[in-house]
Amino acid sequence: MQRIYLDNAATTPLDSEVKQAMEPYFGDTYGNPNSLHWFGQQARAAVDRARETIASAIGARFREVIFTGSATEANNLAIRGAIMHARETFNKIADGRPMKVIVSTIEHDSILAAVRDLEKEGVEVVRIPVDEHGFVDVQKLEAALDERTVLVSIMYANNEIGSIQPIKEIANILKKFREREHALPYYPLLHTDAVQAFQFLDCTVDELGVDLMTLSAHKIYGPKGIGALYARTMNTVMHAKDDRVHMIRPRVSGGGQEFGMRSGTENVAAIAGFAKAVELAGTYRANESKRLAELRERLWRRIKDFYPIADRNGFSADGILNQIPDPESSSGRHDYMSVQDDKEKGRDEMGQSLPNILNVYFPGQKGGDLLIALDMRGIAVSSGSACAAFSAKPSHVLMALGFDDARAGGSLRFSFGRHTTQADIDGAVEALRAVLRA
């Protein structure tokens, strides 16, 4: 039986060039990168090269890239680390009132779980709603800001429905707020989870205006078990003018690796693979975005042909492709061709979704049953986030869009990657047709 993998938002296969980049560090180059001898310095050089590659790709300083064991760890370091830094820096905030963190209702579980824990510690958490397409209510976010706000965390692109948030707009709102006299110096910080976005969108940190950004290797054809947090360094009134400091505190104590932000011996092989995956992502970005968006729309049209009551979760623009990177763009960056209908509706940047994700509601069906039936026919899809695959609860993302349990539980996510072909789409369609007729 031929198997077709349409779950690339959960993880991607290891690229052969990434594997090749990792192999030396499973063999002769095995030194501890923190050792002073030749073996250790060979490993240290590999870590430094990888850090420089990733820093260059996102426009960051060398010291601003912190390697972690996963994106989940990076998210926790951003959220908890920012609160710890603020607590240590400011003894009193707004007459002793609690610090505030702002997130959206469709963040990854690692963000939502972290802020739930912070609530138990006395931090106020404001959860900003999204509309039926999965776009955050920017006006409500702005209204929630006050002098106690330490951190705003909004994911760049959603892992279940693909909605892309207006991070630049949010950054500008925070910049204006910081300029007010009553705001804490340097706060609120802006964090974005860019795990799903990096393949397709501009993740240049100064362009986005973010202070913290999470990345993951295994979502971009790199190895599992390695993530990174971009953490902006700043000059503060408490330090010398030329002494830039991180605005977070570590969550793991020990030998002081990763500039004191994440102790533990570095995973040299995984770090080398991560850097190669980042390098390759830049070469694939524009052409793959257009190709995958076309495959996504092909699948959607075919589903509607034989199951017309199916509905699409998240943003859609029937009859047109969502804004797709132009491969002919002279900049080589992540420019998007405009969709006039969306601009007339005032969506502009918000009127976008990732080209590789299609989330579909099948009325009268149970997503879990469909998933198993498709798997028995060789088709791998998901009913939501892989991190919540064993939970009996319906998707919190779809529930946040205002859908009921039946819709949230009757939906499937199809996500495409570099190895997805038109034949794969057609094979998935035939399997779906057979399952829905059964």
pLDDT tens, position by position, 370-381: 999 999 999 999
Asked if the structure places residue 29 within a domain, the reply is: yes
The 8 Å CB, 24+ separation contacts for 251-258 are 251/73, 251/76, 251/77, 251/80, 251/81, 251/84, 255/34, 257/34, 258/66, 258/67, 258/68
Are residues 70 and 196 located together in one domain of the fold?
yes
Q: Indicate if the alpha-carbon torsion angle 80, 83, 86, 87 is positive or negative.
A: negative
pLDDT on residue 318: 45
CA distances from 238 to 82, 247, 273 (A): 17, 12, 38
Are residues 97 and 221 located together in one domain of the fold?
yes
Domains identified in the chain, total number: 2
At 336, the pLDDT band (50, 70, 90 cuts) reads very low
Paired tokens of 48: 């430094």
Mean pLDDT within 257-283: 96
CATH code for position 86: 3.40.640.10
The phi and psi torsions of 140 (rounded to 5 degrees) equal -70, -35
Asked if the structure places residue 81 within a domain, the reply is: yes
At 342, the pLDDT band (50, 70, 90 cuts) reads very low
Residues 6 or more apart in contact with residue 229 via CB below 8 angstroms: 65, 66, 68, 74, 77, 78, 212, 213, 214, 215, 261
pLDDT on residue 347: 43
At 322, the pLDDT band (50, 70, 90 cuts) reads very low
Give the sheet arrangement for strand 311-313, strand by strand. 311-313, 357-361, 411-415
Domain closes at, from 229, 255, 275: 275
pLDDT on residue 284: 94
Give the separation between CA 25 and CA 265, rounded to whole angstroms.
Answer: 14
Mean pLDDT within 325-341: 37
159-173, 181-195, 247-261, 262-276: least confident range: 181-195
Q: Which helix (H) or strand (E) holds 228?
A: strand 227-231
- C-beta separation of 322 from 293 below 8 A: yes
Q: Is 198 helix (H, G, I), strand (E, B) or coil?
A: coil
Paired tokens of 312: 């699409």
Cα-Cα-Cα-Cα torsion 12, 166, 323, 204, nearest 10 degrees, comes to: -60
Please, how many CA atoms are within 13 Å of residue 397, restricted to the half-sphere of its CB? 28
Are residues 91 and 41 located together in one domain of the fold?
yes
pTM metric for this prediction = 0.90
Q: What percent of the chain has pLDDT over 90?
A: 79
Are residues 306 and 219 located together in one domain of the fold?
no
pLDDT on residue 351: 42
Asked if the structure places residue 240 within a domain, the reply is: yes
Are residues 86 and 207 located together in one domain of the fold?
yes
Question: 320: domain range?
Answer: 4-11+285-437
Asked if the structure places residue 68 within a domain, the reply is: yes
Give the separation between CA 89 and CA 91, rounded to whole angstroms.
Answer: 7
Range list of β-strands (E), 38-172: 65-68, 100-104, 124-128, 149-153
Domain closes at, from 225, 256, 275: 275
Are residues 240 and 290 located together in one domain of the fold?
no
Give the separation between CA 86 and CA 106, rounded to whole angstroms.
Answer: 25
30-44, 330-344, 375-389, 415-429: least confident range: 330-344
Mean pLDDT within 423-431: 98
Asked if the structure places residue 212 within a domain, the reply is: yes
Give the residue numbers annotated as catalytic, written as ranges: 387
Are residues 64 and 197 located together in one domain of the fold?
yes
Are residues 111 and 192 located together in one domain of the fold?
yes
Are residues 368 and 327 located together in one domain of the fold?
yes
Res 221 pLDDT > 80: yes
Are residues 150 and 271 located together in one domain of the fold?
yes
Asked if the structure places residue 128 within a domain, the reply is: yes
Domain closes at, from 247, 275, 303: 275
pLDDT on residue 371: 97
Asked if the structure places residue 280 within a domain, the reply is: no
Give the separation between CA 115 and CA 128, rounded to whole angstroms.
Answer: 13
Paired tokens of 56: 């260059």
CA distances from 41 to 31, 67, 265 (A): 8, 18, 13
Asked if the structure places residue 406 within a domain, the reply is: yes
Averaged pLDDT score across all residues of the chain? 89
Are residues 235 and 263 located together in one domain of the fold?
yes
pLDDT on residue 1: 86
At 96, the pLDDT band (50, 70, 90 cuts) reads confident
At 345, the pLDDT band (50, 70, 90 cuts) reads very low
Paired tokens of 424: 């794969």
More confident residue, 384 or 258: 258
pLDDT on residue 90: 72
Are residues 203 and 251 located together in one domain of the fold?
yes
- 426 burial (CB, 10 Å; 0-12 / 13-18 / 19+) is middle
Give the separation between CA 57 and CA 205, rounded to whole angstroms.
Answer: 10
What proportions of the chain, in percent to the nearest 5, are helix, strand and coil? Answer: 40, 15, 45
pLDDT tens, position by position, 59-85: 999 999 999 999 999 999 999 999 999
Res 330 pLDDT > 60: no
Paired tokens of 106: 């469709």
pLDDT on residue 28: 92
CATH code for position 306: 3.90.1150.10
Q: Is 184 helix (H, G, I), strand (E, B) or coil?
A: coil
